Chains A and B, each alone.
Chain A
């Protein structure tokens, strides 16, 4: 468990001034015969006491609920919605990891904080820092809140441009993937007599003209392409992140060309070998990927290993 070792707050210039004023007037009027000095000293210490206790008490009651988007990419500006309960008339809030800009608000209340998704991962908790010096401003009380998100924010890597050269899958592997009839390709295999239901664009006009009967073309099915991407993120942290970004870029490029993508990663639950069908799914898988040893590629798949080197 992380422990915030910073002090719970700090005296401001005004607070320091009040402390010095109280001590000074106490020292000057130590003989006790000056009512004015005792009054000044009592006032200074009273302001200090109230000014320190007040922010402590008011920030104690603060609770924040945070909701955010489900998916994001590293570098995105994501908007987190805050719902603040408690009762503080002067409050500042910011996100940590990395520390954002302080924003003023009140409690109860709410609003939106824009945060840069700084790194890849699945984030179930956000760290927020709240502070208040109100209403006297002699002591700035800080408090760090760990807020569990109702829906984790999955931050995938930012894809790095990678060239993809399609490779056809072997018949076995392709058959396993082809769950729906493959659309026609552009190679004519044969010509046959027309049967109802055939598309008009398939009519083979030369044969029809020659025979006087409608004839249609039969086309070869297109080749099924695919790639198995092995994301091996073991290595230095930066290299691992770059590898994840390259894997995302390659996966997206393959998807754009119509190829099937099989992603092999290691997640906290263990090795995962599963196809991905959309950039969002690709991002989520890579967001969950960790630095473990990836599983071996299945037989027959064109394989690209992206390692953190």
Chain B
């Protein structure tokens, strides 16, 4: 190795194998840096560049440690960074996969580079070329590691299924006091800015994603939502499951059943979340409100679980548009269609935007579209001053706000049009775990949205903050890449198993071919055996030192068959000449052997 010596070891030449190691380490640390950057709200490119630069600098120029140690420490550092940031929201498995591939690559290269520095066995064969060997190793290793990892994943990712009802003692003094979504509230003040953490508050095992509804509000006073009917009533429990009474406006037919098991990770929760509309609760004695939301008098602590069966409205655009032909009950109209506190320009705006919308559904969409075009989501939007109508301020002055202002504006505008609507709080579905298939819900996934009543269909959720599919359209065909992303682990497992089977097949084929090749003996070997048998029968065994021509010549004398000499030379020529002898020469030799009674085999 050439290069300046710096206190302990030479600087690594980028052209040596260590140069490739540096590149692989840089790729690994770049992936880790990108992950850290994305987790902390910085640009991925910035983190990746920083990681790559640090790795290159350390491997190529850090003189105080051996290159192998330095490279190993760099990989370990990358691993720690990945572990540290893999828990952050929005962490994609893509960067982790890049880190894993680069780490594997680096490990292979480090071992090779280390070996390259050792003296070679004198007169021994050179090591295979770096590119060929690394490519082969990486191919086989990737399959092997993926296969073994797929075996480990179910073990490492396994979490025992929660037992309904069990859990720690609920503690309201820990962690989630600020998260009002987990506790029952009499009002929803839209002038209080939410400060939500990243901690997991619950996981939900469900067949499909839904908004997990907690509470609804129907009375708007210009800055906060309250309920017109805050009564609770308990229901008789039949066995382990409690059937809920149909709430006001809930259709008794139609819809799709959805079973959800909620596992509480927060330290305190007294709201029982559920996809609308819940029909039964298991694991906790529920308290129901007239609006169909449920809570409990006995708060839940960390580790508590409950199961809810919901009847999710099976609505499509057509059914929602057709719902206008059905009359709205008086109870719904009196409770949810009353004009709320609003300003004249809000009412005028709602009327203007929906002037050309023929149906309730179209009016909702028109208002959503208008807000999408004229307002922006921002958690740092200025809070409305005391006495100012929040919806008016949001729609005409600030035009920036978070989900509570946005959804409140939609509900208020709908109500000014006489459309039954209400404000809803709860949680978005959460990130689906690819390992457990559960939806992981974090504190900062608390959300507010609107529910609009469609006669004959029931309450339908609309999320003006982000485009939300209708309940009936939620099962629309998924894109190919979306499906691939959701089933990445299964696909990886299948590829690993297929690869392993392919490798096993190739190995078996090679093994069988070798065995077969051993069994197939050449013409020369067979005739040599014939000669030896002939000689043994004649009492003249071959001496260990005798070649085929020598032995054939000796037999020719013993048996008085001069043609055998030619057989000996034919065997020699067939065995040792590059192309063997021709078929006519073999036939001639066979004829001689047959003539002397050797009965050549295999001819």
Contact = CB atoms under 8 A, between A and B. Distances in A.
Contacts of A92: 115, 118
Interface in A57-116: 79, 82, 89-90, 92-93, 101-106, 109-114
A32 interface: yes
Nearest to B113: A137
A133 B100 contact: no
Question: What secondary structure prevails in chain B residues at the interface with A?
Answer: helix
Given A14-B110, A90-B112, A36 B125 contact: no
Contacts, number: 194
A39 B93 contact: yes
A79 B124 CA distance: 13
B438 to A, nearest CB: 8
A44 B115 CA distance: 23
Interface in A157-198: none
B124 A103 contact: yes
Contact of B435 (A32, A44, A113): A32
A33 B79 contact: no
Interface in B191-243: 200, 203
B115 A135 contact: no
A137 B114 contact: yes
A21 interface: yes
Given A36-B93, A49-B148, A103-B120, A136 B141 contact: yes
Nearest to A30: B159
Interface stretch (B69-77, B252-260, B594-602): B69-77
A118 interface: no
Given A50-B148, A106-B127, A113 B137 contact: no
Nearest to A107: B125
B536 to A, nearest CB: 29
Nearest to B106: A14
Interface residues of A, number: 57
B82 interface: yes
B97 to A, nearest CB: 8
A51 B103 CA distance: 13
Given A17-B79, A133-B111, A137-B114, A38 B156 contact: yes
A163 B116 CA distance: 51
B149 interface: yes
Interface string B84-114: 0011000101001100100110011011101
Given A39-B93, A42-B152, A28 B72 contact: no
Contacts of A50: 141, 144-145, 148
Contact of B86 (A40, A112, A137): A40
A37 interface: yes
B133 interface: yes
A112 to B, nearest CB: 4
B156 A41 contact: yes
Contact of A28 (B83, B151, B434): B83
Contacts of A54: 144
B133 A89 contact: yes
B433 interface: yes
Interface string B544-579: 000000000000000000000000000000000000
Contacts of A24: 80, 83
B390 to A, nearest CB: 35
Nearest to A90: B115
Given A45-B149, A136-B107, 10 more contacts: A17-B75, A33-B200, A34-B91, A40-B100, A43-B145, A104-B115, A104-B119, A104-B120, A106-B124, A110-B125
27 contacts: A14-B110, A21-B79, A24-B83, A25-B79, A33-B203, A33-B438, A35-B93, A38-B435, A39-B97, A42-B152, A42-B157, A45-B148, A45-B149, A47-B107, A49-B148, A50-B141, A103-B120, A103-B121, A104-B116, A105-B121, A105-B125, A106-B127, A109-B125, A111-B122, A134-B111, A134-B112, A136-B107
The 7 A-B residue pairs with the shortest CB-CB distance, nearest first, are A111-B124, A137-B111, A36-B86, A111-B121, A46-B149, A32-B159, A17-B76
